[in-house]
A and B are shown apart, each in its own frame.
Chain A
């Protein structure tokens, strides 16, 4: 079977996902095209050779609707022969775009793909595309549906993570992200978003708070207590599925959950042969990929079975992995990962994560692959495992090896 390589990886900076965020004025197409153009221009790419442009997007309506990948490719002046495919596996959409590209290459279906994602959350809010799982009473009952924040609180309760545990992880995320920026660790990948005249709109991640402390976070009110305990009372639904839980401890708040942001990312994936033909140097090999389904009620425990599955598939053990990117959707998700595999926290999210820099849903999966790749190169380490929890009870993972 053929191998799939990463030739390049770029992302926009992440802008605060509100109307006063720097990227709020930027269209989804402009953000996505910023990354598509960068890949093309940095690599002198003949886009007529691109087999497909695959972009993840979680709220594919309005300007992000109707196959945002094809639209962004046209917007970015890609060749007509480069088609576009939009995919959605919620928070894993960006990683799935890369995995889908890699696996098609491995199967001989094409040589060169652009894979990534876009999510302008300030412009197309979460939930804009409807969410029948929670709204149709039949699926809501079958899933024992509760929103992600309440489910994350259940994870913390079930696995014994306190508010302080979660806050400490968040403080560390901000600290690491600030240090990474200070040392220019993202410089290779972050493409400033510029206006129509070439004037920079945003060139740095916008939500990092280097000065945050346990005391500051300790003052924040839990975000999901009201909807869990009172109206409409999601805790009671979760307790139907988890009757051994006496009371859900609502530990998550805006500070220890991933930030709502705007952003886009793209990765150039290709076969060995196309790289040689185009004179591109491969940076990493995509060794393995998986997706899993898990209990939709507690919902966000997917990274554990996804990691177990991908290690088994790759014939590796947890100690073979040098570096981990575990998406910081909520603090408890990462704490559960650390608890399950007993890995050294110093190896996990070494340059911070979504609690500090935000989680542009459809793009994040591609972003953390890029972050892992940059860090492997910086630190000279060999192998990284990237994984994300996914809405409706799913998970996905990818292992890359630096070349």
Chain B
């Protein structure tokens, strides 16, 4: 088998090591790759003719990072062998540190030259080198996204970056996982030189050849090294470390184990020499890998998210169905948003509304979003113009001719939707796929207006479309495989995350969100202090509390949904005090939420949220005996998770991976938990059932444990143990 790294000697004195993992389009560092790197580095160091070393890639990119599955396997292997998995992981990480440290301290100047993207463990390889070159490739992404998927940079990146940039300088890259293009990377001093792509290796070789022995010594390995920005117990550094801990605590509610571990690795490492600091980093990294919350995050946010985006649930045997020309019906906020993200992904878009002015207004919305990107330097003016040129705004349905995919985003009214469907289909080829964007209307009902229900499907975008990354794809009773594949391929084109669900009231996301909002509103009626309701949610890692979220989505909508649900369910509808609160605020007092600048909260003229509406506490006085925050949290999380379980039980959801990924991407369900199913697994089914029983006794039937959950508890099983058979080993 070919090795991951190969060496050629350039001009007799510079060893060029090329990373080119056989059979993969993107380099990933696995166990064999690390061994190969080590062998080539040692050979180059031992070769007296070699004055300097260059490490580069044989692929368009440098690499995507360290194989997280490999780390999980090390743990599982050690467990299976009856060993101490923490010791095995620590040993492995220390060995990797050893290889990078040899690069750093081997005595020969090492340049690392990346032609494109370098992420995670591969970016950390860059940091180990003495000089970093990047090709002038504006699409390249450089950085350490680990924190976003439940871990932190554990191949020396944490320790090296704070030693290069100080705590404040490194924080956006480490704590937020911010990725940089080469230009920004150079401005942030993590890349030394940007060179034309075709001169990349040449320039690196030239540098390695001309480098002096001093160039081969990192600042932290030289005498008199001072921690940039000050170590923790210096007058300069103390406020930064103290403030950094507080800010992170406040922003994350302290629930992200990988963030906490990284902070400790930085703090403890900042007070000792490099080798001790790397040991400390390895201990904390191991600690995170051993944390079940971290494993749940890696599983949902990395492994399963990628699997779903790559089409894990795409119907097999359907050929590629990428959208070439998209029709969007309705140029309102939703329609314009869909048109924008599509044109941005290179798709031709026909944007239709009832008259030219309405259609133009939608296009103007797109132009506004593009202008914002240009002014924030995320896009060039030329690129923005090209995107806008892909959008044709017109009231003429005939312009839909040639569209292979249509997304209808007109008002949430079955009659209007039916009319739009029929008007559009008159101009479409028979095999064109028609999607309706709706958050509440049953797809099978809407499909009746279509000439071919097989080619009719539901999509549920979240607002604002350009910011929200989840798209729910809803299969009607008669929706065919081609329609599902079409929708999935389209979502992949616009680089969002799809989940595929079956047609039932509120589909999946809203089915879980609505009870969350109602539980919070119900507490207001019970006399729970309103601040406690929203803060307890945020403390549990929800991005927005239920009262604030109700203000955002509008109390009026809440009231409408309650009324419609009541009408649909009749006598079976469980009366809720939440409805009375909505009726009082939205119905009687016109407090509709943010859009009316009045809701549970008070807003100023500019629409900035000021504080809880003081009269709320007069209408529903907070009782003297307030519940413990933990109880409030339990109610708010469990009510969502139980709805997710019921969606699985009823077949709305067919894959718990989608349930978890969708919940985090869609409405920010406590990301630290890995999603509602992972949250229940972390708690354990037995404890979850006990909690259900406790809350049912105290608050009512809505907390009744679903049959599946009771069954898992009785058998000592977990959701992932039973329902994720095809899943690879979790990292």
Q: Mark B520-543, 1 if CB is under 8 A from A, else 0.
A: 000000000111100110010000
Please determine whether A140 and B539 come into contact, CB atoms closer than 8 angstroms.
no
Which partner residue on chain B sits nearest A142 by CB separation?
B254
Q: Does any Cβ of A come within 8 Å of B490's Cβ?
A: no
Cα(A235)–Cα(B249), bound, Å:
11
Q: Does any Cβ of A come within 8 Å of B105's Cβ?
A: no
Q: Mark A215-246, 1 if CB is under 8 A from B, else 0.
A: 00000000000000001111111011001111
- Contacts of A96-144 to chain B: CB distance below 8 A: 127, 130-131, 134-138, 140-141, 144
Q: Which residues of B contact A313 (CB under 8 A)?
A: none
- Can you spell out 15 A-B residue pairs with CB atoms less than 8 angstroms apart? A130-B233, A130-B238, A134-B242, A135-B245, A136-B245, A137-B248, A141-B249, A232-B243, A233-B247, A234-B246, A240-B539, A244-B532, A244-B535, A245-B531, A246-B530
Please determine whether A234 and B250 come into contact, CB atoms closer than 8 angstroms.
yes
Cα(A244)–Cα(B625), bound, Å:
12
Q: Which residues of A contact B532 (CB under 8 A)?
A: 243-244
Looking at the assembled complex, report how far the CB atom of A142 sits from the nearest CB atom of chain B, in whole angstroms.
9
Q: Which residues of B contact A59 (CB under 8 A)?
A: none
Supply 12 further A-B pairs (C-beta < 8 A) apart from A138-B260, A243-B535.
Answer: A134-B246, A135-B232, A135-B241, A135-B245, A135-B267, A137-B260, A137-B264, A140-B242, A145-B245, A232-B242, A232-B250, A244-B532
Assess A244 versus B529: contact at CB under 8 Å? Given A135-B242, A137-B248, A237-B246. yes
Q: Does any Cβ of B come within 8 Å of A146's Cβ?
A: yes
Cα(A138)–Cα(B532), bound, Å:
25
Please determine whether B250 and A137 come into contact, CB atoms closer than 8 angstroms.
no
The 8 closest A-B pairs by CB, nearest first: A236-B250, A246-B531, A243-B535, A232-B243, A232-B247, A137-B263, A140-B245, A137-B245
Q: Does any Cβ of B come within 8 Å of A281's Cβ?
A: no
Q: Does any Cβ of B come within 8 Å of A247's Cβ?
A: yes
Q: Which residues of B contact A239 (CB under 8 A)?
A: 535
Q: Does any Cβ of A come within 8 Å of B310's Cβ?
A: no
Q: Which residues of A contact B248 (CB under 8 A)?
A: 137
Cα(A140)–Cα(B242), bound, Å:
8
Q: Does any Cβ of A come within 8 Å of B333's Cβ?
A: no
Assess A240 versus B253: contact at CB under 8 Å? Given A134-B245, A245-B531. yes
Which partner residue on chain A sits nearest B239 by CB separation?
A232
Q: Mark A44-73, 1 if CB is under 8 A from B, else 0.
A: 000000000000000000000000000000
Cα(A240)–Cα(B630), bound, Å:
11
Please determine whether B246 and A243 come into contact, CB atoms closer than 8 angstroms.
no
Looking at the assembled complex, report how far the CB atom of B288 sits from the nearest CB atom of chain A, in whole angstroms.
14
Q: Which residues of B contact A127 (CB under 8 A)?
A: 238
Looking at the assembled complex, report how far the CB atom of A78 sits from the nearest CB atom of chain B, in whole angstroms.
33
Cα(A136)–Cα(B265), bound, Å:
10
Q: Mark B92-111, 1 if CB is under 8 A from A, else 0.
A: 00000000000000000000
Q: Which residues of B contact A232 (CB under 8 A)?
A: 242-244, 246-247, 250
Q: Which residues of A contact B232 (CB under 8 A)?
A: 130, 135
Cα(A313)–Cα(B59), bound, Å:
77
How many residues of chain B have a CB within 8 Å of chain A?
A: 32
Looking at the assembled complex, report how far the CB atom of B543 sits from the nearest CB atom of chain A, in whole angstroms.
14
- Contacts of B219-247 to chain A: CB distance below 8 A: 232-233, 238, 241-247
Interface majority SS on B: helix, strand, loop or mixed?
Answer: helix
Q: Which residues of A contact B233 (CB under 8 A)?
A: 130, 135
Q: Which residues of B contact A237 (CB under 8 A)?
A: 246, 249-250
Name the one of A137, A235, A243, A247 contacting B629, with C-beta atoms under 8 angstroms.
A243
Chain A residues packing against B (C-beta within 8 Å): 127, 130-131, 134-138, 140-141, 144-146, 231-237, 239-240, 243-247
Q: Which residues of A contact B253 (CB under 8 A)?
A: 240
Q: Mark B3-46, 1 if CB is under 8 A from A, else 0.
A: 00000000000000000000000000000000000000000000
Cα(A131)–Cα(B237), bound, Å:
12
Q: Which residues of B contact A243 (CB under 8 A)?
A: 531-532, 535-536, 539, 629, 632
Cα(A138)–Cα(B535), bound, Å:
22
Please determine whether B246 and A145 come into contact, CB atoms closer than 8 angstroms.
yes
Which partner residue on chain B sits nearest A145 by CB separation?
B246
Cα(A385)–Cα(B685), bound, Å:
54
Looking at the assembled complex, report how far the CB atom of B659 sits from the nearest CB atom of chain A, in whole angstroms.
28
Q: Which residues of A contact B529 (CB under 8 A)?
A: 244
Q: Does any Cβ of A come within 8 Å of B68's Cβ?
A: no
Q: Mark B565-576, 1 if CB is under 8 A from A, else 0.
A: 000000000000
Please determine whether A240 and B250 come into contact, CB atoms closer than 8 angstroms.
yes
Please determine whether B238 and A236 come into contact, CB atoms closer than 8 angstroms.
no
Which partner residue on chain A sits nearest B265 by CB separation?
A137
Q: Does any Cβ of A come within 8 Å of B612's Cβ?
A: yes
Please determine whether B250 and A246 come into contact, CB atoms closer than 8 angstroms.
no
Q: Which residues of B contact A240 (CB under 8 A)?
A: 249-250, 253-254, 539
Q: Does any Cβ of A come within 8 Å of B626's Cβ?
A: yes
**By CB atoms of chain B within 10 A, which of A137, A232, A244 has the most?**
A137
Cα(A145)–Cα(B246), bound, Å:
7
Q: Does any Cβ of A come within 8 Å of B611's Cβ?
A: yes
Q: Does any Cβ of A come within 8 Å of B251's Cβ?
A: yes
Please determine whether A141 and B254 come into contact, CB atoms closer than 8 angstroms.
yes
Cα(A146)–Cα(B247), bound, Å:
11
Q: Which residues of B contact A235 (CB under 8 A)?
A: 250
Assess A141 versus B247: contact at CB under 8 Å? Given A243-B531, A244-B529, A246-B530. no
Q: Which residues of B contact A136 (CB under 8 A)?
A: 245, 264, 267
Cα(A169)–Cα(B232), bound, Å:
38
Cα(A232)–Cα(B241), bound, Å:
11
Q: Which residues of A contact B530 (CB under 8 A)?
A: 246
Please determine whether A146 and B246 come into contact, CB atoms closer than 8 angstroms.
yes
Which partner residue on chain A sits nearest B531 by CB separation?
A246
Cα(A145)–Cα(B251), bound, Å:
14
Cα(A243)–Cα(B398), bound, Å:
57
Q: Mark B259-271, 1 if CB is under 8 A from A, else 0.
A: 0100110010000
- Contacts of B169-188 to chain A: CB distance below 8 A: none
Cα(A244)–Cα(B244), bound, Å:
25
Looking at the assembled complex, report how far the CB atom of B539 sits from the nearest CB atom of chain A, in whole angstroms.
5
Looking at the assembled complex, report how far the CB atom of B260 sits from the nearest CB atom of chain A, in whole angstroms.
7
Name the one of A131, A233, A236 contacting B242, with C-beta atoms under 8 angstroms.
A131
Looking at the assembled complex, report how far the CB atom of A106 sits from the nearest CB atom of chain B, in whole angstroms.
39
Looking at the assembled complex, report how far the CB atom of B535 sits from the nearest CB atom of chain A, in whole angstroms.
4
Assess A233 versus B531: contact at CB under 8 Å? Given A127-B238, A141-B260. no
Q: Which residues of A contact B254 (CB under 8 A)?
A: 141, 240
Looking at the assembled complex, report how far the CB atom of A229 sits from the nearest CB atom of chain B, in whole angstroms.
11
Cα(A239)–Cα(B533), bound, Å:
12
Which partner residue on chain A sits nearest B243 by CB separation?
A232
Q: Which residues of B contact A141 (CB under 8 A)?
A: 245, 249, 254, 260
Which partner residue on chain A sits nearest B626 by CB separation?
A244
Looking at the assembled complex, report how far the CB atom of B714 sits from the nearest CB atom of chain A, in whole angstroms.
35
Looking at the assembled complex, report how far the CB atom of B584 sits from the nearest CB atom of chain A, in whole angstroms.
20
Please determine whether B535 and A233 come into contact, CB atoms closer than 8 angstroms.
no
Q: Mark B538-555, 1 if CB is under 8 A from A, else 0.
A: 010000000000000000
- Contacts of B589-640 to chain A: CB distance below 8 A: 611-612, 626, 629, 632
Cα(A145)–Cα(B247), bound, Å:
11
**By CB atoms of chain B within 10 A, which of A135, A236, A246 has the most?**
A135
Cα(A144)–Cα(B249), bound, Å:
8
Looking at the assembled complex, report how far the CB atom of A132 sits from the nearest CB atom of chain B, in whole angstroms.
8
Assess A233 versus B238: contact at CB under 8 Å? Given A240-B539, A245-B531, A246-B612. no
Which partner residue on chain A sits nearest B629 by CB separation?
A243
Which partner residue on chain A sits nearest B617 by CB separation?
A246
Looking at the assembled complex, report how far the CB atom of B563 sits from the nearest CB atom of chain A, in whole angstroms.
30
Q: Which residues of B contact A246 (CB under 8 A)?
A: 530-531, 535, 611-612
Please determine whether A233 and B629 come into contact, CB atoms closer than 8 angstroms.
no
Looking at the assembled complex, report how far the CB atom of A226 sits from the nearest CB atom of chain B, in whole angstroms.
12
Cα(A145)–Cα(B245), bound, Å:
9
Assess A233 versus B245: contact at CB under 8 Å? Given A243-B532, A243-B536. no
Q: Which residues of B contact A234 (CB under 8 A)?
A: 246, 250
Q: Which residues of A contact B244 (CB under 8 A)?
A: 232
Please determine whether B243 and A231 come into contact, CB atoms closer than 8 angstroms.
yes
Please determine whether B243 and A236 come into contact, CB atoms closer than 8 angstroms.
no
